[in-house]
Structure 1
Amino acid sequence: MPSKRNIMATYALLVFIWATTPLAIVWSVQDIHVMWALVLRFFIALPIAVILLIVLKIKFPTDRVALHSYFAGSFSLIGSQIFTYAATHYLSSGIIALMFGLAPIMAGFIGRFGFKQHLQKLQWLGMLVSVSGLAIICFNGSSTQHVHPIGIGLMMMSVFTYALSIFWVKKVNADVVPMAQATGSILVSTIAAICIIPFIWQDIPTHMPNGKSLFALLYTVFMASLLAMFCYFKLVQNIKATTLSLTTVMTPVLAMFFGAILNDEYPSMMVFVGASVLLFGLFLYFYKDFKSSRELEHKMKR
């Protein structure tokens, strides 16, 4: 059992990586065609993931159920990130992170209408408030270079695909360890990336990317695709799901801060207002979970 300090350090590292990944994606496409940046990300990540499987001696199942699970998991990787990378032309890194904060809301909609899961009244209110915040961002931020309705639409597709993949993987319920699941999903994503190449061949990089783009590309591979994965699954095993879900509220705020400091991204005041409304909606959505979690912790201490 990891120490409390170890868990806190892992949690902080995961929040930092998730908060900086949108900026890394934006930087990675500055000197590389947007889809080539995505393709290269998986081409680099796959051999590293395979080497880790071999070194750690982790079994990689190839039965029908496992293959189905890898395919479902790939929708949270290349299936979702195709839309995210395309959105970099229209949105700042902070807004991209903010849109990913809607993942629990999107998962709530999918769970309610796709799987007949029950939602509490406060969760419906949280959804309504978050959507209102998104509307404020969309209708008041289009006059700036950081927000565009097309980008909002692309990110909605990205978040929907990501949330759908989570439900799909759970429904398949394959007996696969997290590292093998991640490697299998990266493998399927790499195959999909190969299928993209004929459509972007004319834009193949003809020079070594500049230092910033190259650093950002490697960051998305090592930090976002590999290290964050280890941190996430370590936390899943050692802390409550509600505590982990707090990252949904924390990362967009930090991402907007990093975007402003490191990339001169200064959205309009109304965009900040909309972001605040959206985050408040997320707080309402999770409020009962947070309250129940704290009450349970108090009982355990007694």
Structure 2
Amino acid sequence: MNSNSSSLVVTASIYALLVLIWATTPLAIVWSIAEYHPMWVLIIRYFGACIIALAILAVIRNPLPFDKISLKSYVAGSLNLIGAQLFIYLAANYLTSGLMALLFGFSPLIAGLIGHVILKTHKLVALQWFGMVVAVSGLVFVFADSADSKVNPIGVVLMLISMVSYISSIFWVKQINAPLKPMSQATGSLLVSAVGSLFLIPFIWQSFPTALPSSQAMFGFLFTMILSSIVAMLCYFWLIKRLAASTVSLSNVMTPIIALVLGATLNHEHISTYTFVGVAIVMFGIVLYFWKEWKVQYFSG
């Protein structure tokens, strides 16, 4: 096997691992909060992930600067963690893991909308607008059987807030453009998030965990702390340096489908006919949204 083939296999394997982790994370969150208050789970996850991230930094000898611009970038990055993740954990009380993944698949669409309407950084074409309309129409089918699909409006609102926090964090970090290595950026953001999460303790102290969790809850917790917080982050930054953004964006089509299958298989989450049709329409809308970008990369020339 030549070096190009080996590199292709490694890249494909890392890409598949990232998609699998992202698709499994909503189910892991649902499992991890089944017995404890979600905010306690989030706090413990952040501090555990910080310890692991700092250990990795020490091994690879990456710096963790604390100058003004670096600190600002850490705060911007933490908006994705203590901001977006906080609302995802709260939403897990109202939505199935599959629907959480489906809703988060709208992140690129919302990012495009913010970039077009608010930041004026790029212009959406007619096909992208049409893709958005189709994707939103798909949600109508999901909501059509809300009682059976466990679609709670509160959970949907929490997921929307989470996505806006996640997208705002990306734009903010890019705007700051601090000269940080990916692992340093991620570790600094984790540290800020862990410290910020301490402010939640006075409101949840009465729910302090007093017993060991079940094996399923422990698996969910360890999965989110190690794989979702550390491994997925490293995979993502590794791929971003080597693949086009459009290639990485393909995960937005694959992840919700895998998450729905995992939720139904491992957590007995019911997928109604309306949900199935709605998911298909949403995925088609996302494909339409990215079609121009994918066409340029894969089918031109």
Mapped contact 2:94–2:150 kept (Cα < 8 A)? yes
**Counterpart amino acid of residue 128 in structure 1:** V
| CA deviations over 1:152-206 (Å, ceiling 9, x no partner) | 1111111111111111111111111100000011011101111111110000001
- Indicate whether 1:119 and 2:124 are aligned: yes
How far, CA to CA, are the matches of 2:42 and 2:7 in structure 1?
36
TM-score between both structures, scaled by the size of structure 1 = 0.95
| CA deviations over 1:29-86 (Å, ceiling 9, x no partner) | 0111111111111011111111111111001121111111110111111200111111
- Indicate whether 1:238 and 2:242 are aligned: yes
| CA deviations over 1:220-249 (Å, ceiling 9, x no partner) | 011100011111111111111111100010
From 89, 94, 98, give the equivalent of 1:90: 94
- Written as runs of structure 1 = structure 2, the 5 A alignment for 1:18-167 is 18-116=22-120, 117-138=122-143, 140-144=144-148, 146-167=150-171
How far, CA to CA, are the matches of 2:218 and 2:238 in structure 1?
29
**Counterpart amino acid of residue 131 in structure 2:** G
How far, CA to CA, are the matches of 2:174 and 2:125 in structure 1?
22
Count residues in correspondence.
296
How far, CA to CA, are the matches of 1:253 and 1:272 in structure 2?
10
**Counterpart amino acid of residue 98 in structure 1:** L
Partner of 2:274: 270
Ranges in structure 1 where 5+ consecutive residues have no aligned partner: none
**Counterpart amino acid of residue 154 in structure 2:** I
SS of the residue corresponding to residue 299 of structure 2 reads: helix
Mapped contact 2:141–2:274 kept (Cα < 8 A)? yes
From 283, 289, 293, give the equivalent of 1:285: 289
How far, CA to CA, are the matches of 1:32 and 1:141 in structure 2?
29
RMSD across aligned positions (CA): 1.2
How far, CA to CA, are the matches of 1:207 and 1:127 in structure 2?
46
After TM superposition, give the deviation of residue 270 of structure 1 in Å. 0.9
Ranges in structure 2 where 5+ consecutive residues have no aligned partner: none
Q: Percent identity?
A: 47
Partner of 1:260: 264
How far, CA to CA, are the matches of 2:149 and 2:209 in structure 1?
26
Closer, same or farther: CA 32–145 of 1 in aligned 2, 3 Å: farther
How far, CA to CA, are the matches of 1:246 and 1:282 in structure 2?
9
TM-score between both structures, scaled by the size of structure 2 = 0.95
From 191, 197, 201, give the equivalent of 1:193: 197
